Amino acid sequence: MIRLFILLLFLLGCGKPITESNEKDKTKNALKEGVIEGRYLDQNMFMNFNYLPMTGEIKDQKKFWSGDSWRLKFGSVNYRWNSPNHETRHYTSPHPRDLKKYSLEDLKQLSPTEKYDLWLGRYDYFLKNLVESYLPERPLDWEGLCHGWSGASMNHSEPTPKTMMNPDGILIPFGSADIKALLTYYYSLETVPDTFQLGRRCERYKLLDDDNCNEDLTPVDFHTVIANKLGLRGESFIMDIDRYLEVWNHPIISFKSEIIKDIRKKGRNRKVTLRTSLYYVDVTLKNSWTPTIGTLAHIISKQQLEYELELTPSGNMIDGKWISRDRPDFIWTMNKVEKFTGYLSGLNELIK
């Protein structure tokens, strides 16, 4: 879902878990001056296993909402998700002369792009037609805007419904899913703030003939990021949870690691095998007019990974290998859009 079309669209002996009291001690030690040993995702990060926490979660609980990936096969953000017929592409939008006959309930059934165009008085449906023009005729089943949804979800609180008046006095209703769609679309553009990526996308359905598919993102890199971002800072990152060609980007919200094997030999490096449970926000199964956080529509899923880390006698992580078949393809972050510009500048008002 990270495919882009020009400047627009279509940019996954056994040890015991560390106790809570030990976690706090580790965080305090890791913050001591002089322990910084690496830089990942444009941040300095600690790489000494002995000082890093084994659990962590995000701090901001108002963000990280479930949303649609707005798959291209269903018309992307032109999808009439609230219509009984669920129109996807090549449908006819209301003519200006007929709009005053539409009730609020009728207008609620239009697509996110139609509502936005009508709110601005663009009866030529500029945004809807623009999205339509860049939709491929035969997109792959999984292709959509999950990269835009992930970026919007991790940077903005979940939208609430709004009713806006257009230049001709017509009230245009926006549901939470409509505003999510517009945020997702904006964050799928190339004009969003800087992104920082670790690992490269695998372009194959199998591992053969693509170096990016062969442990491109190492266990050392992965454990460093989850322990620092989630464990020490309470910050999220985005991960492609599918290691092959398909891209399924999701905001990661918490992790818990446990040592399931610990090999120590005097005078030699230590090897620890970890089982890490990652919890991430998943795409919604059904769009909603109202916010989803706190409801059954807010979906949190889990992925379990196993890997081995090699540590120096002092605890520095220097090497590792993946054990589980599942593993991340790449991980990345996207900075927040502080002010929306251009045709979609109306988002500044919609998310107030």
How far is Cα 329 from Cα 216, in angstroms, rounded to an integer?
8
220-234, 289-303, 318-332: lowest mean pLDDT where? 318-332
The pLDDT tens digits for 110-138 are 999 999 999 999 999 999 999 999 899 88
21-35, 81-95, 197-211, range with the lowest pLDDT: 21-35
Q: What pTM does this model have?
A: 0.85
The pLDDT of 341-349, averaged and rounded, is: 96
- Asked if pLDDT for residue 29 goes beyond 90, the answer is no
**pLDDT class for 329, splitting at 50, 70, 90?**
confident
Q: Regarding beta strands 331-334 and 237-240, do their DSSP bridges make them parallel or antiparallel, or are they unpaired?
A: antiparallel
Give me the pLDDT at residue 244, please.
72
Separation CA 145–CA 134 (nearest Å): 13
Give the Cα separation of 304 and 157 in Å (integer): 28
User: Angle at Cα 119 formed by Cα 95 and Cα 339, nearest 5°?
Assistant: 145
In this predicted structure, which of 210-214, 245-249, 270-274, 340-344 has the lowest mean pLDDT?
A: 210-214
Distance CA 209, CA 287 (A): 39
Give CA separation, 137 vs 28, 75, 98, in Å. 55, 10, 30
Q: Which of the two residues, 254 and 268, has the higher pLDDT score?
A: 254
99: its two tokens: 């709009």
pLDDT of residue 14: 23
User: What integer best gives the mean pLDDT of the chain?
Assistant: 86
Backbone Cα Rg of the chain = 23
**Dmax of the chain from CA atoms?**
84
Of the listed ranges 4-13, 72-81, 161-170, 293-302, the one predicted with least confidence:
4-13
Query: Are the C-beta atoms of residues 84 and 98 closer than 8 Å to each other?
Result: no
Model confidence at 152: pLDDT above 80: yes
Q: Which residue has the higher pLDDT, 12 or 243?
A: 243
Tell me the three state secondary structure of residue 52: coil
> What does the alpha-carbon distance between residue 173 and residue 155 come to, in Å, rounded to a whole number?
24
Distance from CA of residue 321 to its chain's centroid?
Answer: 25
Query: Does residue 31 or residue 2 have the better pLDDT?
Result: 31
Q: Coil, helix or strand for 322?
A: strand
Confidence at residue 42, expressed as pLDDT on a 0 to 100 scale: 83
For residue 7, what pLDDT is reported? Answer: 33
The first and second tokens of residue 136, run together, are 């491929």
**3-class SS at 94?**
coil
Q: Write the DSSP assignment of 129-183 as a string of letters.
A: HHHHHT--SS--TT-S-HHHHHHHHHHSPPP--EEEE-TTS-EEEE-HHHHHHHH
Mean pLDDT of all residues in 211-239: 87
Q: What are the pLDDT digits (tens) for 180-223? A: 999 999 999 866 777 788 887 776 665 544 455 655 789 999 99
Cα 326 to Cα 310: distance, rounded to the nearest angstrom: 20
Note whether 153 and 72 are within 8 A (CB).
no
Mean pLDDT of 233-259: 90
Among 194, 210, 189, 223, smallest CA distance to 308 is for 223
Residue 214 confidence (pLDDT): 57
Question: What mean pLDDT comes out for the span 279-305?
Answer: 94
| 114-118, 135-139, 249-253, 297-301: range with lowest mean pLDDT | 135-139
Helices (H), 188-318: 219-225
Do 77 and 131 form a contact (C-beta atoms < 8 A)? yes
pLDDT cut 70: percent of the chain above it: 84
Q: How many H-runs (helices) and E-runs (strands) does the chain carry?
A: 8, 12
pLDDT of amino acid 3: 36
**37-77 pLDDT per residue, tens:** 577 888 889 999 998 999 999 987 789 999 999 999 999 99
Q: How far is CA 209 from CA 205, 206, 214, 222, 296, in A?
A: 11, 9, 9, 23, 42
What are the Cα distances from residue 68, in Å, to 117, 130, 142, 304?
20, 20, 12, 24
pLDDT tens digits for range 313-326:
889 999 999 999 88
Query: How many other CB atoms are there within 10 angstroms of residue 135's CB atom?
Result: 19
Q: Contact 268/54 with Cβ under 8 angstroms?
A: no
Percent of the chain with pLDDT over 90: 66
Q: Which residues partner with 28 through β-bridges?
A: none
